[in-house]
Amino acid sequence: MVGEITPEVDIEEALYAFRHSWDGRVQKSDKNIHTLTELGITFVQRADEIRGLSLEHYVSGPEDDHDGSGAKVWIFRKEVCKKMIYIKLRVINLNKGKKYWKCMSFHFPVWELKCHYAK
């Protein structure tokens, strides 16, 4: 699906599934922790910002994760505390159609991100 824009309904369905299965945690990394500190927000506030993702924040996905695991990633950007944030969600298909969602990234972007459905 690289290079294609995902239909709105598919993005909305993915965000709905994410909100209803995500445990609120974000992958631990130096970038993610630095961003949280720089913004001066709590873990709970960060989770609220991530749960508040919508169609207008969509950048790309679903795309194959670079690790070769078969997982898919979705990329979003969102302004938080007047600073742009890169957010990467990862979904893994489990047995019997179940999916496991994880937030891998919540940090300042290293390149420009274009939202395809921004208002």
DSSP 32-97: HHHHHHHHT--HHHHHHHHHT--GGGEEEEEEE-TTSSS-EEEEEEEEETTEEEEEEEEEEE-GGG
CATH of 8-107, one of 3.30.2310, 3.50.80, 1.25.40, 3.10.100: 3.30.2310
Residue pLDDT tens, the chain, 119 long: 445 779 999 999 999 999 999 999 999 999 999 999 999 999 999 999 999 999 999 999 999 888 877 789 999 999 999 999 999 999 988 777 788 899 999 999 988 877 777 76
Pairing of β 83-93 and β 99-107: antiparallel
Instruction: State how far the Cα of 109 lies from the Cα of 111, in Å rounded to an integer.
Output: 5
- Amino acid type, 40: G
pTM for this one? 0.90
